[in-house]
Amino acid sequence: MKSLSIACTLALGLAIAAPSSVLAAQPAQAAASASATAPAAPQLHQAMRSLWHGHIVATRDYALAVHAGNQADEKKSADAVVANAKQISNAVAGFYGQAAGDGLLKLLAGHWGGVKALTDTTKAGDTAGEQKAMNDLAANGTAIAKFLAGANPNWTEGALQGALMMHVNDHKTQLDEMMSNAPAAQQAKSWTEMQHHMNMIADVLADGIAKQFPNKAH
């Protein structure tokens, strides 16, 4: 529990340079044990998927608003991202304590800051700004992975990093396609893949919690 917030940053950094074939393989390996059998705590799995799906829906809504130049929707979506991060941190606090929940919230705020900056700079065509945002996401991702791995012995830093690398790469792909007005079918395919990858991460986290807190998880 001493570092539930440190684990996700390294994963994000590697996403900058890793080829897509590598990125695709790593989260699949990270979630292999989670998907091989029926979940031990199905309600927990469902709740975790719902929470993390909320993250990608809200960040996508923000990107759509930026793309359309709709400032009112930008604010509404940004507020939704923050509200979702608080829900996730509260869920973590229910198992690991308020200090851990607060620590994760700070890390999720860092992730959102990077995604927001990446969204805004991609829209503006600011290549240097995009690179800085990716670097920031990389640093933040390493921190989240260590944090989570330090909290639960069922989570390994390497597996979390692989999954998080894919998640950041999904954000980048989505933004590149959206802001360049890629064909709708191409964007829909990437969105489906992003949802699938998010579910895989949620399942890995739910599995780890169910093993560490079998009575509480049920």
Tell whether the model's pLDDT for residue 84 goes beyond 60: yes
For every residue of 9-21, DSSP letters joined together read HHHHHHTTTS-HH
Q: Can you tell me the distance from the alpha carbon of 178 to that of 196, in angstroms, rounded to the nearest whole number?
A: 19
pLDDT higher at 109 or 14: 109
Query: What pLDDT band is residue 21 in, cutting at 50, 70 and 90?
Result: very low
Query: What pLDDT band is residue 26 in, cutting at 50, 70 and 90?
Result: very low
pLDDT in tens, 152-207: 999 998 889 889 888 999 999 999 999 999 999 999 999 999 999 999 999 999 99
Helix (H, G, I), strand (E, B) or coil at 197: helix
| Cα–Cα–Cα angle for 176, 180, 182, rounded to 5 degrees | 90
For every residue of 62-103, DSSP letters joined together read HHHHHHHT-HHHHHHHHHHHHHHHHHHHHHHHHHH-HHHHHH
The answer to whether 63 and 178 are in contact (CB under 8 A) is yes
Q: Can you tell me the distance from the alpha carbon of 110 to that of 87, in angstroms, rounded to the nearest whole number?
A: 16
What length is written for the chain?
218
pLDDT in tens, 126-166: 999 999 999 999 889 999 999 999 999 999 988 898 898 88
Average pLDDT, the chain: 85
Tell whether the model's pLDDT for residue 28 goes beyond 60: no
Which pLDDT value is given to residue 41?
85
Q: Can you tell me the distance from the alpha carbon of 38 to that of 11, in angstroms, rounded to the nearest whole number?
A: 27
The answer to whether 51 and 206 are in contact (CB under 8 A) is no
